[in-house]
Amino acid sequence: APTIRRADYRPLSWTVETVELHFSLDPEATVVTNRMLCVRNPDADEGPIRLWGEDLERLSLTVDGQAPQALRESGALIEIDADGDRAMVEVRTRIDPKANTTLSGLYLSNGGFFTQCEAEGFRRITCFPDRPDVMARFTVTLEAERASCPVLLSNGNLIEQGELPDGRHYARWEDPFPKPSYLFALVAADLVALERTVRTMSGREVLLQVWVEAGNLDRCGHAMDSLVHSMRWDEETFGLELDLDRFMIVAVADFNMGAMENKGLNIFNTKFVLAKPDTATDVDYENVESVVAHEYFHNWTGNRVTCRDWFQLTLKEGLTVFRDQQFSADMLARAAGPEGAASARAVKRIDDVRVLRAAQFPEDAGPMAHPIRPDSYQEINNFYTATVYEKGAEVIRMLHTLLGQEGFRNGMDLYFSYHDGQAVTCDDFVEVMSEANNGFDLDQFMRWYSQAGTPRVKASGEWSAADGSYTLTLAQSTPATPGQPDKLPLVIPVAVALIGPDGRDCPLRLEGEAQAGAATRVLQLTEAEQRFRFVGLAAAPVPSLLRGFSAPVVLELDEDDARLAFRMAHDADPCNRWDAAQRYAERVVLAMAADAAAPVPDAFVAAFRALLGDGALDPAFRAQALALPGEAYLLERMAPADPLALRAALVRLTRTLGERLAADWLALLDAMQVPGEYRYHPADAGRRALANLALRYLAAAGHAEGLARAQARFEAATNMTERFGALAALVQSTDPAREAALEAFHARYRDDALVLDKWFALQAGAWRWDDAAAPTLDRVRALLSDPAFSLSNPNKVYALLGTYFRANPGEFHAADGSGHAFWAEQVIALNAKNPQVAARMARALESWRRFTPALQASIRVQLERVLASEGLSPDVAEVVGKALG
Ligand code: DPP
Ligand code: ZN
């Protein structure tokens, strides 16, 4: 596939002012009539009207009612010569939604019609200048059979509806806001809605709807509450109000991504809408809340102000992820009350850091590494990445840190005042941030948008007893990434505190300052190396750096075990306290992986026990601090990466912590009971999470009472969090009861697609505790033919294959190469159905060059096999090509 480059951006010679779409919906032959008023773009060079169309049967195309004077086609691009400044172009196309297994464009799910247009799905519906810099006003008429599709939805406001002959009906929708085609949506299906009417801050009454299949109406309340909370939050925090009379969320079971922010008509994967205590875990509740918020927030950051081109994707995604992270933190803090707010925020921050380290750091170190604003791509769908989203959010967070809450808000206000209704670039955003803050210099900061790779910050300190000073040296470097051998220094905010021997933070005074200030301060590292001299200290301090994870970097700091244990016990910043535990655990487990005979150090067990038993600590925090670092992150820290040795070490460490701390875990189980009926509340969720973790350690150790407790909890549970937590513990043991538990769980939820996803994932992610046990691959293969499994449903693929490929490296990378061969087989099968999903699965092996030579050899064969396979999509070709390249 050709490479598209950011530098080649040119505005189109013609854009579109208004679009009138008419859909005659039919499962196999939908006819789309598209009348668009094309207008010459005064800001562009002379040229033809350009439209894109893909997989369309074109029935007719006219310009001002006539056959076009000249029409040229190459691939998906259609060029039409036209005179004058305005031209009415009418295109009729026929499409086959039923045959559309890509889930991009118009497709069927469970008998209903749904669309997904971001990034380039609209061209699979009709011919159009399908680029985000073309913003047009849409009017949409849907016609469908009333019996199968009683509900007809599109963007904006319903302006007309009625009956048609032959059992058909129609509805007409008008969206008052100009929008790019990627935000178009339609739904025609048999759905019901939960409704609520609320007032916006300016007093307008708006109708909110959550549309689902009839049987799911009892699972929409949480999504609705989340929507209302999101609206309030955006009003209070940014002064941003809902701009439509009606806002709809529709849940669909077949969906490539999490959700989509189509104007006024968000379409969601059911996974991020449906929740009730019997089927959803606390984590599911949390995810529903944050995804609902994310899509709602896009209405301003993404829809009202959109991206000029797809290279600017982080403009809307990084900013919107940052907004949803702040929202979730505020919601958690509010629920926790004034006492627990700080810890609640930290727990959310830790969650986000875990995701960044597990998903984004490896991406930044692999063949697909790209800046948050990429310079090129082959297939844009491959760039909805952890880098664009999560690292992009970190970059916005750093801006927020540098400018302060108020400065950031002023920048946002200015952003909307300048750019509302426009398609803009990341430069535009950073420029208004600067302008709103007295010309704050962000030139060097812009390097975060152009440099890939995770920066290293190396810190060292020198204590001088003679004058009570501590000199901190910070040095930065960013490793080379594909196409970027040399990197320049970035602006890195490093939040610093110095901990005294008593465990308390020291007041900080830099050399030259008259008096000491706050205990944590943000240093700006802008050069390759800088020194900061703190004075007026009574004793040698212990540095606590990068508090709150103030920048998306790897911090390299020489700390011995004793110092890590000290920070585990005393660091006043919960993020760093957690991080100290992670670093200590990483050190222990990597030593065990390097030497199968290495013991688990007593001091580590003791430090772990101290956290475990510290009743003053928020249970949710303890659940974070007592969870070992993720396997993906650890593999990233290992050179060469040896997943089998790592797994053996993790198994041994988990078992040892279970055995040696058994009494503590059991006591914790008792202490963490949550009485009363289930409610989704962070305080309860924290207790449940900690109890579930205790069960996992106990079950991993094969502890008889622990297993009995897991079994009992599994049977008596009144909510999914406890039931699934107990099941996961049982499955993560060698106890024979696990098979019976899996069966009982299946029997209870055999008709519940979302719960079955959990059942699939649990088995695909299961560890093998000894060599005598059957490989997990046998189980995964068998589950492929389970009646509930389908390669056509992304959720099922992510649950079974995604979990096995990504969350079970110790099994996937079996020495005989069976996992790798299976990967190739599945990627090839998926490629034919759904290239986007196939490409995501393909990415599971991109970091293969980091592995041991034997594994590299085994993986290379399979990468080459996929690359040589017939009919390879550009999506998969890009991933595999770059991996081998
Ligand atoms: N724009 C969607 C989201 O991130 C993904 N297609 O919300
Ligand atoms: Zn988004």
Phi/psi of residue 376, nearest 5 degrees? -155, 160
Specify the residue with its C-alpha closest to ligand 1, atom 7: 260
Residue of 416, 415, 417, 419 whose CA lies nearest to 430: 415
Q: Please give, one letter per residue, the 3-state secondary structure of 226-286.
A: HHHHHHHHHHHHHCCCCCCCEEEEEEECCCCCCEECCCCEEEEEHHHCCCCCCCCCHHHHH
**DSSP string for 394-420:** HHHHHHHHHHHHHHHHHHHHHHHHHHT
Kindly list the catalytic residues: 295
Task: Select from 256, 299, 384 the residue to mutate for testing ligand 1; criterion: most ligand atoms less than 8 Å from CB.
Answer: 384
Mean pLDDT score of the chain, rounded to an integer?
98
Residue of 293, 16, 255 whose CA lies nearest to 137: 16
Task: Select from 183, 295, 385 the residue to mutate for testing ligand 1; criterion: most ligand atoms less than 8 Å from CB.
Answer: 295
Q: Measured between alpha carbons, how far is 566 from 533 in angstroms, rounded to an integer? A: 23
Specify the residue with its C-alpha closest to ligand 1, atom 6: 260
Identify the pLDDT of residue 171.
Answer: 99
Q: Which domains does the chain have, with CATH numbers?
A: 1-100+133-186 (2.60.40.1730), 307-450 (1.10.390.10), 456-551 (2.60.40.1840), 755-885 (1.25.50.10)
CA of 258 to the centre of ligand 2 (A): 9
| Separation in Å, CA 391 to CA 92, 110, 352 | 42, 36, 10
User: Whats the size of the chain, residue-wise?
Assistant: 885
Number of the ligand closest to the Cα of 261? 1
Identify the pLDDT of residue 769.
Answer: 80
Q: Measured between alpha carbons, how far is 638 from 651 in angstroms, rounded to an integer? A: 17
Q: What does the block give as tokens for 230?
A: 């999101």
Q: Measured between alpha carbons, how far is 289 from 277 in angstroms, rounded to an integer? A: 15
Q: Measured between alpha carbons, how far is 45 from 27 in angstroms, rounded to an integer? A: 41
Identify the pLDDT of residue 804.
Answer: 98
Alpha helices in 600-702 (DSSP H): 602-612, 619-625, 631-636, 643-660, 662-671, 682-700
Evaluate whether 183 touches 301 at the Cβ level (below 8 Å).
no
Q: Measured between alpha carbons, how far is 42 from 36 in angstroms, rounded to an integer? A: 18
Could you give the ipTM of this predicted complex? 0.98
Residue of 855, 369, 395 whose CA lies nearest to 635: 855
Identify the pLDDT of residue 66.
Answer: 97
Alpha helices in 506-642 (DSSP H): 561-570, 574-594, 602-612, 619-625, 631-636
Please state the atom number of ligand 1 nearest to the C-alpha of residue 260.
Answer: 2
783: Cβ contacts below 8 Å, ≥ 6 apart: 760, 763, 764, 789, 800
Q: What does the block give as tokens for 822?
A: 């299976």
Give residues (CB < 6 A) around ligand 1: 118, 257, 259-261, 294-295, 317
Identify the pLDDT of residue 424.
Answer: 99
Number of the ligand closest to the Cα of 255? 1
740: Cβ contacts below 8 Å, ≥ 6 apart: none
Please state the atom number of ligand 1 nearest to the C-alpha of residue 294.
Answer: 7
Identify the pLDDT of residue 1.
Answer: 82
Query: In this structure, is the dihedral angle defined by the CA atoms of residues 121, 123, 125 and 128, taken in order, positive or negative?
Result: positive
CA of 18 to the centre of ligand 1 (A): 25
Specify the residue with its C-alpha closest to ligand 1, atom 3: 260
Identify the pLDDT of residue 216.
Answer: 98
CA of 173 to the centre of ligand 1 (A): 23
**What are all long-range contacts of 427-434, with beta carbons under 8 Å and residues at least 24 apart?**
429/315, 429/319, 430/399, 433/399, 433/403, 433/407, 433/408
Q: Does residue 296 sit in helix, strand or coil?
A: helix
Please state the atom number of ligand 1 nearest to the C-alpha of residue 291.
Answer: 7
Identify the pLDDT of residue 254.
Answer: 98
* pLDDT lower than 50: segments of the chain: none
Q: What does the block give as tokens for 261?
A: 């922010």
Task: Select from 298, 323, 380 the residue to mutate for testing ligand 1; criterion: most ligand atoms less than 8 Å from CB.
Answer: 298
Reported as a single tens digit per residue, the pLDDT across 617-662 is 999 999 999 999 999 999 999 999 999 999 999 999 999 999 999 9
CA of 857 to the centre of ligand 2 (A): 38
CA of 291 to the centre of ligand 2 (A): 9
Q: Measured between alpha carbons, how far is 648 from 654 in angstroms, rounded to an integer? A: 10
pTM for the model stands at: 0.99
Q: What does the block give as tokens for 749?
A: 């939820």
Query: In this structure, is the dihedral angle defined by the CA atoms of residues 95, 97, 98 and 100, taken in order, positive or negative?
Result: positive
CA of 322 to the centre of ligand 2 (A): 10
Identify the pLDDT of residue 445.
Answer: 99
